[in-house]
Amino acid sequence: MRFADFRSDTFTKPSKVMRQVMCEAEVGDDVFGEDPTVNRLQDIIAELTGKESALFVSSGTQGNQVCLNAHTQPGSEVIAGRESHIFNYECGAPALLSGVQLFPIDDNRGWVTLEEVKNAVRHEDVHYPQTQMICLENTHNRAGGTIFPFEEIEKISQFAREKDCRIHLDGARLWNAVIETGISIKDYAKNFDSISLCFSKGLGAPVGSIVAGSKEFIKRVHYYRKVYGGGMRQVGILAAACIYALNNNFDLLKKDHERAKYFAEEISKIPGILIDLTTVQTNIAIFSVDLPNFRVDDFLFKLKENGVLMLNIDHNRIRMVCHLDLEDEDIEKGITVIQKLLV
Protein backbone atom coordinates (compact mmCIF):
# COMPACT_ATOMS: atom_id res chain seq x y z
CA MET A 1 0.00 0.00 0.00
CA ARG A 2 1.24 3.48 -0.86
CA PHE A 3 0.68 5.77 2.10
CA ALA A 4 -0.43 9.38 1.80
CA ASP A 5 1.99 10.67 4.42
CA PHE A 6 0.87 13.97 5.97
CA ARG A 7 2.82 13.56 9.22
CA SER A 8 5.41 16.24 8.48
CA ASP A 9 7.36 17.94 5.71
CA THR A 10 10.44 16.34 7.30
CA PHE A 11 9.38 13.05 5.64
CA THR A 12 10.46 14.28 2.20
CA LYS A 13 13.15 12.19 0.52
CA PRO A 14 15.89 13.41 -1.81
CA SER A 15 15.07 13.05 -5.49
CA LYS A 16 17.31 11.13 -7.88
CA VAL A 17 18.70 14.39 -9.22
CA MET A 18 19.43 15.64 -5.69
CA ARG A 19 21.19 12.37 -4.88
CA GLN A 20 23.34 12.74 -7.98
CA VAL A 21 24.27 16.29 -6.97
CA MET A 22 25.25 14.98 -3.55
CA CYS A 23 27.43 12.26 -5.10
CA GLU A 24 29.28 14.80 -7.21
CA ALA A 25 29.77 17.40 -4.46
CA GLU A 26 33.25 18.81 -3.97
CA VAL A 27 34.18 18.30 -0.32
CA GLY A 28 36.83 19.09 2.26
CA ASP A 29 37.17 19.17 6.03
CA ASP A 30 34.56 21.63 7.29
CA VAL A 31 35.95 21.65 10.84
CA PHE A 32 39.00 23.29 9.26
CA GLY A 33 36.75 25.52 7.16
CA GLU A 34 37.94 23.77 4.00
CA ASP A 35 34.77 22.28 2.56
CA PRO A 36 34.11 24.41 -0.55
CA THR A 37 30.47 23.35 -0.91
CA VAL A 38 29.66 24.20 2.71
CA ASN A 39 31.45 27.52 2.32
CA ARG A 40 29.41 28.25 -0.80
CA LEU A 41 26.15 27.46 0.99
CA GLN A 42 27.12 29.70 3.90
CA ASP A 43 27.98 32.55 1.50
CA ILE A 44 24.65 32.11 -0.30
CA ILE A 45 22.70 32.35 2.95
CA ALA A 46 24.72 35.30 4.24
CA GLU A 47 23.87 37.14 1.01
CA LEU A 48 20.24 36.02 1.09
CA THR A 49 19.71 37.18 4.68
CA GLY A 50 21.84 40.32 4.43
CA LYS A 51 23.96 39.10 7.35
CA GLU A 52 27.75 39.16 7.55
CA SER A 53 28.16 35.44 8.03
CA ALA A 54 26.39 32.07 8.28
CA LEU A 55 27.12 28.62 9.68
CA PHE A 56 25.77 25.22 8.60
CA VAL A 57 24.37 23.11 11.45
CA SER A 58 22.87 19.64 11.62
CA SER A 59 19.32 20.54 12.65
CA GLY A 60 16.89 23.32 13.53
CA THR A 61 17.18 22.49 17.21
CA GLN A 62 20.96 22.73 17.08
CA GLY A 63 20.67 26.02 15.21
CA ASN A 64 18.33 27.54 17.77
CA GLN A 65 20.37 26.31 20.72
CA VAL A 66 23.78 27.51 19.54
CA CYS A 67 22.17 30.91 19.01
CA LEU A 68 20.77 30.90 22.56
CA ASN A 69 24.20 29.97 23.87
CA ALA A 70 25.94 32.70 21.91
CA HIS A 71 23.45 35.42 22.90
CA THR A 72 22.99 34.75 26.61
CA GLN A 73 24.64 34.22 29.95
CA PRO A 74 23.63 31.57 32.52
CA GLY A 75 20.92 32.81 34.87
CA SER A 76 19.33 35.15 32.35
CA GLU A 77 15.86 34.83 30.87
CA VAL A 78 14.60 34.34 27.33
CA ILE A 79 11.08 35.28 26.20
CA ALA A 80 9.53 32.66 23.93
CA GLY A 81 6.05 31.58 22.89
CA ARG A 82 4.27 28.97 25.00
CA GLU A 83 3.46 27.04 21.80
CA SER A 84 6.87 27.59 20.20
CA HIS A 85 9.26 24.88 19.04
CA ILE A 86 12.00 26.16 21.35
CA PHE A 87 9.71 25.74 24.37
CA ASN A 88 8.00 22.47 23.43
CA TYR A 89 10.27 20.39 21.24
CA GLU A 90 13.88 21.07 22.20
CA CYS A 91 14.15 18.86 25.28
CA GLY A 92 14.63 21.64 27.83
CA ALA A 93 17.89 22.50 26.07
CA PRO A 94 17.93 26.20 27.05
CA ALA A 95 18.22 25.19 30.71
CA LEU A 96 20.50 22.23 30.08
CA LEU A 97 22.91 23.81 27.61
CA SER A 98 22.75 27.56 28.20
CA GLY A 99 21.64 27.74 31.83
CA VAL A 100 18.84 30.15 30.94
CA GLN A 101 15.21 30.26 31.93
CA LEU A 102 12.43 30.56 29.37
CA PHE A 103 9.56 32.97 30.04
CA PRO A 104 6.66 31.55 27.96
CA ILE A 105 4.00 33.95 26.70
CA ASP A 106 0.74 33.22 24.91
CA ASP A 107 1.22 32.63 21.18
CA ASN A 108 -1.58 30.17 20.42
CA ARG A 109 -2.54 32.20 17.35
CA GLY A 110 1.06 31.87 16.15
CA TRP A 111 2.35 35.28 17.08
CA VAL A 112 2.63 37.77 19.91
CA THR A 113 2.15 41.51 20.12
CA LEU A 114 4.62 44.16 21.19
CA GLU A 115 2.54 44.80 24.31
CA GLU A 116 2.69 41.14 25.29
CA VAL A 117 6.46 41.18 24.90
CA LYS A 118 6.76 44.41 26.90
CA ASN A 119 4.72 42.89 29.73
CA ALA A 120 7.08 39.90 29.87
CA VAL A 121 10.30 41.88 30.13
CA ARG A 122 11.61 41.85 33.69
CA HIS A 123 12.14 45.02 35.67
CA GLU A 124 15.59 45.51 37.07
CA ASP A 125 15.35 43.96 40.51
CA VAL A 126 17.71 41.77 42.48
CA HIS A 127 14.97 39.13 42.77
CA TYR A 128 14.46 38.66 39.02
CA PRO A 129 16.41 37.04 36.21
CA GLN A 130 17.16 39.64 33.57
CA THR A 131 15.59 39.44 30.13
CA GLN A 132 18.42 38.94 27.67
CA MET A 133 16.75 37.57 24.56
CA ILE A 134 13.46 37.33 22.64
CA CYS A 135 12.68 34.37 20.37
CA LEU A 136 10.01 34.49 17.67
CA GLU A 137 8.89 31.69 15.31
CA ASN A 138 7.77 32.15 11.70
CA THR A 139 5.89 30.27 10.35
CA HIS A 140 4.44 28.83 13.52
CA ASN A 141 4.16 25.05 13.67
CA ARG A 142 1.67 24.41 16.50
CA ALA A 143 -0.59 27.25 15.39
CA GLY A 144 -0.99 25.60 12.00
CA GLY A 145 1.71 27.22 9.88
CA THR A 146 0.51 30.75 10.55
CA ILE A 147 2.58 33.73 9.45
CA PHE A 148 3.85 36.26 11.99
CA PRO A 149 2.59 39.73 10.94
CA PHE A 150 5.55 41.66 9.57
CA GLU A 151 4.51 44.96 11.12
CA GLU A 152 4.49 43.38 14.58
CA ILE A 153 7.93 41.90 13.98
CA GLU A 154 9.25 45.36 13.18
CA LYS A 155 7.73 46.80 16.37
CA ILE A 156 9.17 44.04 18.57
CA SER A 157 12.55 44.36 16.87
CA GLN A 158 12.71 48.10 17.52
CA PHE A 159 11.73 47.56 21.15
CA ALA A 160 14.40 44.87 21.57
CA ARG A 161 17.08 47.19 20.29
CA GLU A 162 15.94 49.97 22.60
CA LYS A 163 16.22 47.52 25.51
CA ASP A 164 19.61 46.20 24.31
CA CYS A 165 17.99 42.78 24.17
CA ARG A 166 18.97 40.20 21.55
CA ILE A 167 16.25 38.93 19.21
CA HIS A 168 16.31 35.59 17.38
CA LEU A 169 14.06 34.12 14.71
CA ASP A 170 13.33 30.42 14.55
CA GLY A 171 12.75 30.51 10.81
CA ALA A 172 12.67 26.77 10.17
CA ARG A 173 9.72 27.36 7.83
CA LEU A 174 10.42 31.00 7.00
CA TRP A 175 10.64 29.94 3.34
CA ASN A 176 6.88 29.30 3.50
CA ALA A 177 6.21 32.78 4.88
CA VAL A 178 8.35 34.31 2.13
CA ILE A 179 6.61 32.45 -0.70
CA GLU A 180 3.17 33.35 0.69
CA THR A 181 3.75 37.03 1.53
CA GLY A 182 6.35 38.07 -1.03
CA ILE A 183 8.40 39.66 1.77
CA SER A 184 12.06 38.79 1.22
CA ILE A 185 14.19 36.81 3.62
CA LYS A 186 16.50 39.83 3.83
CA ASP A 187 13.61 42.06 4.94
CA TYR A 188 12.61 39.54 7.60
CA ALA A 189 16.21 38.97 8.73
CA LYS A 190 17.07 42.66 9.19
CA ASN A 191 14.80 42.67 12.24
CA PHE A 192 16.80 39.97 14.04
CA ASP A 193 20.26 39.60 15.51
CA SER A 194 20.22 35.95 14.44
CA ILE A 195 18.09 33.72 12.29
CA SER A 196 17.91 29.96 11.80
CA LEU A 197 16.62 28.38 8.58
CA CYS A 198 15.90 24.72 7.80
CA PHE A 199 16.52 22.89 4.52
CA SER A 200 15.07 19.49 5.48
CA LYS A 201 11.38 20.45 5.67
CA GLY A 202 9.51 21.96 2.73
CA LEU A 203 12.64 22.39 0.63
CA GLY A 204 13.21 18.65 0.70
CA ALA A 205 16.89 18.28 1.60
CA PRO A 206 17.64 15.17 3.70
CA VAL A 207 19.57 16.97 6.47
CA GLY A 208 20.57 20.45 7.50
CA SER A 209 19.83 23.90 8.88
CA ILE A 210 21.82 27.10 8.97
CA VAL A 211 22.16 30.17 11.20
CA ALA A 212 23.12 33.68 10.15
CA GLY A 213 24.27 36.80 11.96
CA SER A 214 27.25 39.08 12.42
CA LYS A 215 30.80 37.75 11.96
CA GLU A 216 31.51 38.04 15.67
CA PHE A 217 28.27 36.28 16.53
CA ILE A 218 28.90 33.40 14.09
CA LYS A 219 32.39 33.02 15.55
CA ARG A 220 30.79 32.36 18.95
CA VAL A 221 28.15 30.10 17.38
CA HIS A 222 30.93 28.10 15.71
CA TYR A 223 32.43 27.46 19.13
CA TYR A 224 29.14 26.18 20.54
CA ARG A 225 28.53 24.00 17.49
CA LYS A 226 31.86 22.34 18.26
CA VAL A 227 30.88 21.98 21.93
CA TYR A 228 27.74 20.13 20.85
CA GLY A 229 29.76 17.75 18.68
CA GLY A 230 28.47 19.42 15.53
CA GLY A 231 31.65 19.43 13.46
CA MET A 232 30.80 17.12 10.55
CA ARG A 233 33.95 17.03 8.38
CA GLN A 234 33.18 16.34 4.66
CA VAL A 235 29.68 17.72 5.01
CA GLY A 236 29.62 19.21 1.51
CA ILE A 237 27.66 16.11 0.52
CA LEU A 238 24.78 17.50 2.60
CA ALA A 239 25.39 21.14 1.74
CA ALA A 240 25.10 20.27 -1.96
CA ALA A 241 21.61 18.90 -1.32
CA CYS A 242 20.68 22.12 0.48
CA ILE A 243 21.91 24.28 -2.39
CA TYR A 244 19.98 22.15 -4.87
CA ALA A 245 16.85 22.35 -2.72
CA LEU A 246 17.09 26.12 -2.45
CA ASN A 247 17.59 26.55 -6.19
CA ASN A 248 14.95 24.07 -7.35
CA ASN A 249 12.30 23.51 -4.68
CA PHE A 250 11.61 26.94 -3.23
CA ASP A 251 8.95 27.88 -5.78
CA LEU A 252 7.22 24.51 -5.25
CA LEU A 253 6.19 25.59 -1.75
CA LYS A 254 3.27 27.51 -3.25
CA LYS A 255 1.73 24.22 -4.39
CA ASP A 256 1.98 22.87 -0.84
CA HIS A 257 0.03 25.89 0.39
CA GLU A 258 -2.66 25.47 -2.23
CA ARG A 259 -3.10 21.80 -1.36
CA ALA A 260 -3.27 22.44 2.39
CA LYS A 261 -5.93 25.11 1.92
CA TYR A 262 -7.96 22.88 -0.39
CA PHE A 263 -7.72 20.00 2.07
CA ALA A 264 -8.82 22.25 4.94
CA GLU A 265 -11.78 23.64 3.00
CA GLU A 266 -12.98 20.17 2.03
CA ILE A 267 -12.75 18.56 5.46
CA SER A 268 -14.42 21.61 7.05
CA LYS A 269 -17.60 20.39 5.31
CA ILE A 270 -17.51 17.05 7.17
CA PRO A 271 -19.81 16.90 10.24
CA GLY A 272 -17.79 16.90 13.45
CA ILE A 273 -14.65 18.47 12.00
CA LEU A 274 -13.56 21.67 13.70
CA ILE A 275 -11.02 23.76 11.81
CA ASP A 276 -10.32 27.49 11.70
CA LEU A 277 -9.72 28.14 8.01
CA THR A 278 -8.11 31.51 8.75
CA THR A 279 -5.16 29.69 10.34
CA VAL A 280 -4.42 27.64 7.22
CA GLN A 281 -2.02 30.13 5.70
CA THR A 282 0.82 27.94 4.42
CA ASN A 283 1.38 24.16 4.24
CA ILE A 284 -0.11 23.04 7.58
CA ALA A 285 -3.70 22.38 8.63
CA ILE A 286 -4.68 21.57 12.22
CA PHE A 287 -8.14 20.25 13.02
CA SER A 288 -10.05 18.52 15.80
CA VAL A 289 -13.10 16.26 15.87
CA ASP A 290 -16.16 16.94 18.01
CA LEU A 291 -18.04 13.65 18.03
CA PRO A 292 -19.24 11.41 20.88
CA ASN A 293 -16.66 8.88 22.08
CA PHE A 294 -14.06 10.16 19.61
CA ARG A 295 -10.48 9.12 20.44
CA VAL A 296 -7.55 10.60 18.55
CA ASP A 297 -5.39 7.47 18.85
CA ASP A 298 -8.14 5.27 17.43
CA PHE A 299 -8.75 7.73 14.59
CA LEU A 300 -5.05 7.86 13.64
CA PHE A 301 -4.90 4.05 13.68
CA LYS A 302 -7.90 3.82 11.37
CA LEU A 303 -6.37 6.43 9.06
CA LYS A 304 -3.24 4.30 8.84
CA GLU A 305 -5.28 1.17 8.08
CA ASN A 306 -6.68 3.11 5.13
CA GLY A 307 -3.30 4.32 3.86
CA VAL A 308 -3.23 7.79 5.41
CA LEU A 309 -0.69 8.98 7.99
CA MET A 310 -1.16 12.01 10.27
CA LEU A 311 0.00 13.09 13.73
CA ASN A 312 -1.74 14.44 16.81
CA ILE A 313 -0.16 17.43 18.50
CA ASP A 314 -2.17 17.09 21.71
CA HIS A 315 -5.09 15.06 23.08
CA ASN A 316 -7.56 16.29 20.44
CA ARG A 317 -5.78 18.22 17.69
CA ILE A 318 -4.55 16.54 14.52
CA ARG A 319 -1.97 18.02 12.15
CA MET A 320 -1.58 17.43 8.42
CA VAL A 321 1.35 18.87 6.52
CA CYS A 322 1.72 19.18 2.75
CA HIS A 323 5.11 18.71 1.11
CA LEU A 324 6.72 18.08 -2.26
CA ASP A 325 6.53 14.27 -2.01
CA LEU A 326 2.72 14.41 -2.13
CA GLU A 327 0.51 14.37 -5.22
CA ASP A 328 -3.02 15.70 -5.79
CA GLU A 329 -4.36 12.16 -5.45
CA ASP A 330 -2.87 11.96 -1.94
CA ILE A 331 -4.87 15.01 -0.93
CA GLU A 332 -8.04 13.50 -2.34
CA LYS A 333 -7.29 10.22 -0.60
CA GLY A 334 -6.89 11.97 2.74
CA ILE A 335 -10.20 13.79 2.34
CA THR A 336 -12.04 10.65 1.20
CA VAL A 337 -10.73 8.50 4.06
CA ILE A 338 -11.69 11.08 6.69
CA GLN A 339 -15.18 11.28 5.17
CA LYS A 340 -15.43 7.50 5.25
CA LEU A 341 -14.40 7.30 8.91
CA LEU A 342 -16.53 10.17 10.22
CA VAL A 343 -19.69 10.27 8.11
Task: Locate the domains of the chain by residue range.
Answer: 4-10+251-342, 14-248
Q: What is the DSSP letter of 9?
A: G
CB 129 within 8 A of CB 99: no
Beta pairing partners, 20? none
Question: In the prediction, which pLDDT does 111 show?
Answer: 94
CB 202 within 8 A of CB 324: yes
Question: In the prediction, which pLDDT does 108 show?
Answer: 85
Among candidates 293, 291, 287, which has minimal Cα distance to 266? 287
One digit per residue, pLDDT tens: the chain, 343 residues?
Answer: 789 999 999 999 999 999 999 999 999 999 999 999 999 999 999 999 999 999 999 999 999 999 999 999 999 999 999 999 999 999 999 999 999 999 999 998 899 999 999 999 998 888 999 999 999 999 999 999 999 999 999 999 999 999 999 999 999 999 999 999 999 999 999 999 999 999 999 999 999 999 999 999 999 999 999 999 999 999 999 999 999 999 999 999 999 999 999 999 999 999 999 999 999 999 999 999 999 888 999 999 999 999 999 999 988 899 999 999 999 999 999 999 999 999 8
Residue 221 and residue 78: Cα distance in Å, rounded?
17
- pTM, entire model: 0.95
Q: What CATH architecture applies to the domain 4-10+251-342?
A: Alpha-Beta Complex (3.90)
CATH number for the domain whose boundaries are 14-248: 3.40.640.10
CB 301 within 8 A of CB 311: no
